Amino acid sequence: MDLQKNVDAFLQMLHSEKFYSPLTCKNYQRDLRLFADYIQGRGLQAWQQVDYRTVSAFAAQRFRQGKKGNTIQRELSSIRSFYKYLIRQQIVASNPAQDVKAPRADKKLPRTCDSEQIDQLLKATPADDDLRVRDLAMFELMYSSGLRLAELASLDIEQIDLQQKQMMVTGKGNKSRYLPVGRKAITALQRWLKLRGNYVRQPQQKALFLSKHGKRLAHRTIQSRLNQLITAQALGMHVSPHMLRHSFATHMLESSADLRAVQELLGHADISTTQIYTHLDFQHLAQVYDKAHPRAKKTSGDS
């Protein structure tokens, strides 16, 4: 049996039916190619020939090669998902990776910024610098709503409702969710939207954030612009887009202690990596958000 033929069909299913991102599909492809090379090196030519001991030996080899527990866990997860697909296709009868455990992954707390550092990073910028106004709006929005980099980059102008102070984002697995937008992000977005028309080169352009050439911003460009903002604001530390998301989650939890609400706002199946997914109505999420998020709470000077 052609091992690669089954992998290609699996990857096509992930892309066309599950709507996984190209990056996720590429990760699956890398993991399964690695495993296919391993089993062929052991003289196996069909997926049906793989058993529990084969997968366990693969995990053990990866550990001896110095791979960390979370890397091996991801590779085993890819193999398990692939075999679930093979079972549905009636190619194999059981999942040999089902009970294989990886070494415990080191749990590292994500790096975050404190609220003072966020204030320094996102303080007002010169009104005559259009791209800096755009950058401020981008990163205010990312921190305001805990967006992933891909979610920020893919935002279209029609997904933002400034009057309702909310937006719709499409996250992993092509799942959409509504999120509240904080008052400082609303103000920053209003400033950018007054300038955005100057950068529209094609009437059909829907991207919320545009480059100076009128194109949707690439992920790498957003990271580069964040680095420039860090330098300009003399923050004195490295901040990645994902750190803004981590900071959002940390600050929300510190203020509200409502784990389920934050879990829903982030678009996680479960913030503790379990299989439970909790659905909360948007009104409750908005109430928790308004009371807890440091850039959404009203100050005494607000009307």
Q: Which residues are catalytic?
A: 148, 172, 242, 245, 268, 277
**Are the CB atoms for 183 and 298 separated by under 8 Å?**
yes
The residue behind tokens 């102070």 is 165
- CA distances to 3, 7, 60, 70, 95 from 88, rounded to whole Å, are 17, 14, 28, 27, 11
Angle of CA points 223, 71, 102, to nearest 5°: 155
User: How far is the CA of 180 from the CAs of 21, 145, 173, in angstroms?
Assistant: 25, 7, 21
- The order of strands in the sheet holding 176-180 is 160-161, 166-170, 176-180
- Dist. CA 55–CA 235, nearest whole Å: 47
